[in-house]
Amino acid sequence: MKRLKTHTAIICSLFTASIVLYSCTTKEKANVSENKHFNQTDNWIVLDKTDATKEGHTFSWTFEVKTPSDYVLQLVSTEAYFKNNESVKIKIGAQEFEASLLKNHLINGNEIVSEFKNIFSIKNTEKQTLSITTEADFKSLRIIPHYKKPIGSGKYHQEWLAMHQSKEKQDALQRFKEAKLGMFIHWGLYSQAGGLWKGTKINNAPHPGPKVAEWLMYAFQIPREDYRALAKTFNPDKSFAENVVKLAKDVGMKYIVITSKHHDGFALFNSKHSEFDMVDATPYKADIIKELYNACLEEGIDFGVYYSHGNDWMDGSDGNYKNIKKVNDSLGIYTHPNGKNLWDPSENTHESYLENKAYPQIKELLTMLPELRLIWFDGTGFTTEAQAFQFYKLVYERNPNVLVNRRVGYAFGDYLDAGDNKIPSASETLEKYWETCGTTNNSWGYKSYDDDWKSPKELLYYFVDILSKGGNYLLNIGPDGKGHVPETSAENLRDMGKWIHQNADAVYGTTRWKTPNEGQEETLLDGTGHRAAKGFKRDFTSKDFWFTAKEHKVYAISLTQTEGDILIKSLKKGEGDIEQVKVLGSDKILSWNQNKNGLQTTITGVPKDALGYVIEVTLKNN
């Protein structure tokens, strides 16, 4: 049972999430009550077979979307033509692919909706053509927003924009952009378990889901009362705050974001709105968020909190899953379980959780931490557009200097992220500033048996790649139950930090230069699971450079200890008149030659243990 300290009346009205009567683009009808907050079909496109141009078995239409995003396709028919292996040929503009079946759903008693696995992006609102080649006897083809990128109605856009563009937010964003490197801390009750439950590793846990240690409760579907008991032994060392702040300083991290409440619902701060917190439920009995906040302020490090608003396995009920599913089923949309507690949900509603725990706790954090810089929301799941907006607004109204990340939901973040352990490609144009969050092994929370630590070089490579593309890196540590940071990860970070301190000019306050990099292929980092499975193998050569820029300086970053002649092609004649060339950290001015092939110079004296060096090229101010 949930134990919320303050109880407003239990909201009995089930969150009638969701329902849609008509959509402007569809002719679908759903027989459920209307709720303006959640219009599932607002951004659908329905293409009727009767409107298609037909050539053999190929059907073509033109269409346009209201909102560029990721979409999936569904074919509606009266017979289940697609079983397991059949695929259809799809062409959308220049994108061509074989679509294979994800799932068949039955709707309206006799219609089959076949949803395909492929996710594709539609990047603009211009007219496009789509064709499908299939022998299936279908009625219509539907283009549906992919569940991971909910599309807002635009209803809150102006109000959001006014807040987002306020001086406070823009100043905060500027400070954030200059910081470049932050420390993420995943720490909570699960840290004591180290990725094992009753002797079984989370990787062998019986239930699907991410194999990261903070998902312990989910992976083993631990009943809430059993999980709650973990609080009784959570008694970290008093030195936690001081130690991690020292580490952040050593590495050159300018901000810290700590899990004030992760998906398990446990708050590391003193909350009046839940007893499942550090002060009420643990022998530690003190507010460790406040301790870390104070330690950060003392050392001049910006402080932010992660807060799982969408998922709360202790008090968040089933995260609104059943309501959403009911509606989706009637429309033939697949409902992703989205990490919700379906094994032992609390008896309240998800909406009452928001009212009685999530919103109040956000207010508490904002009151308790006046110099807070960032709230990093997560677990969006089935948060509605109105709820996501409410979180954003709540933060702004209490402290407009606090940034909010993308995962608050819909388009309400002040900045973006490319996804966990993902770096956007250099050619991707993002409409907002961005940050990549990354792990130092393959888990966020402490996993005692994962020693696949990313080497200092690997970490630095990601950082440099991110810098060259103009983003921030939020790099994680997962302390154990005592609050100790695994030694190898701390060492690796410190090694990387040596390079950062030495080359600080090429890091802080820089922006992307016109050319992000030369010499190497695109980044390999494509998600936590991807890196875990593939490992990291990469050689860097003296021809590889990443660039950053500040005022009239360009920094060419190499991840080698080159001795001898180098050529930087992107700085060839015509790309800027050069005033001076030197290696960062040394006073020696280098002789150089700029011609049509590039900038040539000779490097000497890079220490053998250096992770790389940086050439600072000062351009003439013309």
Instruction: Report the interface residues with ligand GLC, using CB under 6 A.
Output: 186, 210, 212, 214-215, 378, 420, 437, 444
Give min distance, CB of 212 to ligand GLC, in A: 5
Give min distance, CB of 602 to ligand GLC, in A: 43
Among candidate residues 418, 395, 394, 397, the one with its CA nearest the CA of residue 406: 418
Q: Tell the residue number behind the tokens 């709540």, with chain if given.
A: 394
The Cα 586–Cα 600 span in angstroms is: 18
* CA pseudo-torsion sign 141, 143, 146, 151: negative
Give min distance, CB of 405 to ligand GLC, in A: 9
Among candidate residues 40, 45, 37, the one with its CA nearest the CA of residue 64: 45
Q: Which is nearer to ligand GLC, 315 or 420 (CB)?
A: 420
The Cα 286–Cα 270 span in angstroms is: 7
In DSSP notation, 178-191 reads HH-EEEEE--SGGG
The Cα 94–Cα 124 span in angstroms is: 13
Give min distance, CB of 301 to ligand GLC, in A: 20
Spell out the alpha helix ranges (H) of 206-318: 216-219, 224-228, 240-251, 278-281, 288-299
Q: Tell the residue number behind the tokens 């992307």, with chain if given.
A: 512
144 neighbors 72 (Cβ within 8 angstroms): yes
β-strands 553-558, 578-583 pairing: unpaired
Q: Which is nearer to ligand GLC, 146 or 326 (CB)?
A: 146
Q: Which is nearer to ligand GLC, 222 or 611 (CB)?
A: 222
Tell me the one-letter amino acid at 276. F
**Measured at CB, which residue is nearest to ligand GLC?**
420
Radius of gyration of the chain (CA): 26
583 neighbors 592 (Cβ within 8 angstroms): no
Give min distance, CB of 529 to ligand GLC, in A: 11
Q: Which is nearer to ligand GLC, 350 or 422 (CB)?
A: 422
Give min distance, CB of 444 to ligand GLC, in A: 5
Give min distance, CB of 448 to ligand GLC, in A: 17
Rounded to a whole number, what is the distance in angstroms from the first to the last CA of the chain? 69
Give min distance, CB of 150 to ligand GLC, in A: 15
Give min distance, CB of 595 to ligand GLC, in A: 46
Tell me the one-letter amino acid at 453. W
Give min distance, CB of 230 to ligand GLC, in A: 17
The Cα 568–Cα 578 span in angstroms is: 13
Q: Tell the residue number behind the tokens 């609080």, with chain if given.
A: 231
Q: Which is nearer to ligand GLC, 218 or 396 (CB)?
A: 218
Q: How many helices (H) and strands (E) does the chain have?
A: 14, 28
Element (H, E) at 591: none
Q: Which is nearer to ligand GLC, 437 or 466 (CB)?
A: 437
Give min distance, CB of 195 to ligand GLC, in A: 12
446 neighbors 434 (Cβ within 8 angstroms): no
DSSP annotation of 214: G
β-strands 69-77, 128-133 pairing: unpaired
Q: Which is nearer to ligand GLC, 212 or 333 (CB)?
A: 212
Q: Which is nearer to ligand GLC, 25 or 259 (CB)?
A: 259
Q: Which is nearer to ligand GLC, 345 or 598 (CB)?
A: 345
Q: Which is nearer to ligand GLC, 138 or 187 (CB)?
A: 187
Q: Which is nearer to ligand GLC, 264 or 385 (CB)?
A: 264
* CA pseudo-torsion sign 468, 474, 479, 484: positive
Determine how many CB atoms are found less than 10 A away from the CB of residue 124.
Answer: 10
Q: Which is nearer to ligand GLC, 437 or 490 (CB)?
A: 437
Give min distance, CB of 232 to ligand GLC, in A: 23
User: CA neighbours within 13 Å on the CB side: how many for 55?
Assistant: 4
